[in-house]
Amino acid sequence: MTQTSESVTWLTQEAYDQLKAELEYLSGPARTEIAKKIEAAREEGDLKENAGYHAAKEEQGKQEARVRQLEHLLRTAKVGEAPADTGVVAPGMVVTIAFDGDEDDTMTFLLASREFATSDIETYSPQSPLGGAVTGKRAGQEARYELPNGKMAMVKVIDAKPYQS
């Protein structure tokens, strides 16, 4: 099965291991804990007006959604392989862009899954409007993307290098 770059999430081994540990916790001990909370709340009686029961069920729903998200992410992850230094913007690259072609107004970010976000560098997902617009571009090429307010923005790719942790 061939995966497109959009369906693959690039992760370091460390990030993969952290997400796998979170999944194992949520799938095991955390499930047991929430089941006990639900059972304890159920024993309190009338479920219609039992705030503890409803809160525990809501927590369970959020937890199960996170389990599904992590399972998908780990299933589609590409681990430990930094992208090639070809100058083409791709997940796992540190990208520098200039806004509206003004090379004094630049921003540098990591193009990667939000799960990989670090405090060292701002992270944009390849599925975000900016991330999607610059993916596949080379230094010197321009890209347009839609801002949250519906307006269009233009950026110019200045540089793209593989991320080095």
Report pLDDT digits (tens) over 113-152.
Answer: 766 666 577 888 888 899 999 999 999 999 999 999 999 9
pLDDT at 132: 92
Name the residue among 134, 78, 86 with its Cα closest to residue 108: 134
Report pLDDT digits (tens) over 60-87.
Answer: 999 999 999 889 888 887 776 666 778 8
Residue 157 has pLDDT above 90, yes or no: yes
Report pLDDT digits (tens) over 14-26.
Answer: 778 888 999 999 9
Residues 104 and 42 in one domain: no
pLDDT at 7: 58
Mean of pLDDT over the chain: 83
Provide the 3-class DSSP secondary structure of residue 155.
strand
Exposure letters 15-47 (e unless 16+ CB within 10 A, then b): bbeebbebbeebeeebeeebeebbeebeeeeee
Residues 97 and 151 in one domain: yes
pTM reported for the whole predicted model: 0.57
Given 55, 79, 103, the domain boundary residue is 79
CATH number of the domain residue 107 falls in: 3.10.50.30
d(CA 11, CA 80): 6
Tell whether the torsion through CA atoms of 81, 161, 70 and 56 is positive or negative. positive
Any domain includes 85 = no
- Cα 116 → chain centroid: 6
Any domain includes 4 = no
Looking at the structure of the chain, the number of domains it has is 2
Structure tokens at 53: 């029961």
Helix (H) or strand (E) run with residue 143 in it: strand 142-146
Q: How many CB atoms lie within 10 A of CB 145?
A: 15
pLDDT at 81: 61
Identify the domain containing residue 22 by its residue range: 9-79
CATH number of the domain residue 39 falls in: 1.10.287.180
| Averaged pLDDT for residues 87-95 | 87
Given 54, 79, 104, the domain boundary residue is 79
pLDDT at 61: 93
Which of 39 and 5 is assigned the larger pLDDT?
39
Residues 97 and 153 in one domain: yes
